[in-house]
Structure 1
Amino acid sequence: MEETKRPINWRPYLYRYIVPLVVITGILMAWTWERPEPADPYPMEVMEGRVAYRFRGSYNRDFNDLNDIQLKAAKKKGITPAQTRKELEHKKGLVELQSNDHYKIMELTHSVPYVIPEMAQLLEEIGSSFVGVLSEDQLPLYRPVITSVTRTEEDVRKLRRGNGNASENSTHRYGTTVDISWKRFDKVDPNDPRDLSEEELKHLLAMVLKRYHNQERCYIKHERQQACFHITVR
């Protein structure tokens, strides 16, 4: 009588030898796997041979919306001028501006950081566009700096005593107007060894502002003496 062969039970061998071998192989592969180096937060290669930002227009010709034009828009869209800051604080229809990722409010002496919502929205878009261009090009980030916002009648009188060129009919009284410096820009990361010149950043700011000016979102005056772009929302 022929003896029946029993099938070999591989299960003990599988758990005793094969599974541990697979686990050990996986661990060894993990140890020897070459992990990619972290991305350089300050890539110097993007600075080499790059073409600097350049505004292809004229600051004085392209941004020459005079006070009477801006004043008409400010009166139509803005608040009734406040006599004092206490009165301004109780006015409805204003929002407070605070420094954020897209712009910086410098320490204000003759104005307060309150504007109508339309101006706040425009300013957010301008700052976001400016920072966005730098970020997309992997360049050091800078924020535009706001140097003047809304003034009370009391602020205007004090300013005129120290500056005879300050306008008595300032559009800054209506919550519709801000000044953005073209000479000061706030570097976001002081540890970034790369720098962009103030001149180039002014060119970039003008490029961004021109877009919103062409869209008829605002009036703009290039102020040489005050080193700012004087902007009124439309």
Structure 2
Amino acid sequence: MGQQTLGRRARLRAQTTAEIKATALRHMAEGGPDAISLRAIARDMQMSGSAIYSYFDTRDALITELIDDVYTALVDHVEAARDALPPGDVAGRILAWATALREWSLANPQGFRLIYGDPVAGYQPPPGGPAPDAAKRACLGLADLIAAAWPHARAVQDADHTWAEFAPALVDTVRAAHPDLPPAALALALRVWGRMHGLVALEVYGHLGPQTHEPDRLYRAEMRDLIKSLEIAPADRHSGQD
């Protein structure tokens, strides 16, 4: 009986925690990141001000957990899309990652803004930053793509870069996984990241929609150009005409 009671309490706590997070994201959608407030969430959920603090000690603790949740969901999504294709399909895996990034971001615009948008005013992240595991997986995922593409990326192999240009933690992470990659490969990974995110960010923030009725077509063209710049021919199933 005692175990049943504990199990029921754990389920109720998990349900309430999920509702708090969902309410926080809704408040953010309505008022921006600065609208996230434990007291406002408590009022919306008809909880007492003290009750909500039994779930999250501070607003920053809630924001940190939200970032971890949405970043992990994003990385799960892009990794699954990449891994649905064989390792030898380098171009297809790059395109799958990019396409999945856009799909997830458009379906979860508040999550995208929480990860990549303006910082929440006054937010103090924990040591090491929020969502360190998801961030590391994202970095390594891009590094893996570039490591697979690097033998074909003749146009950028002579780029002049040094390890000193990059954050030491990032360098350590990438070199531990790919010790033979040169610093130019890490520079390429960051450039690929920027090209994948650029049009997505414009679309999420509403800047692209007024300019084109077919943002997906622009994005596909940009990704095909990216792959072409790596001198990797897209697989037939990914290179159909618009």
Q: Specify if TM > 0.5.
A: no
User: With structure 2 as the length reference, what TM-score do the two structures score?
Assistant: 0.26
Q: Which has the higher strand share?
A: 1
TM-score (norm 1): 0.26
Larger radius of gyration: 1
**RCO (CA 8 Å, sep 6+): is it higher in 1 or 2?**
1
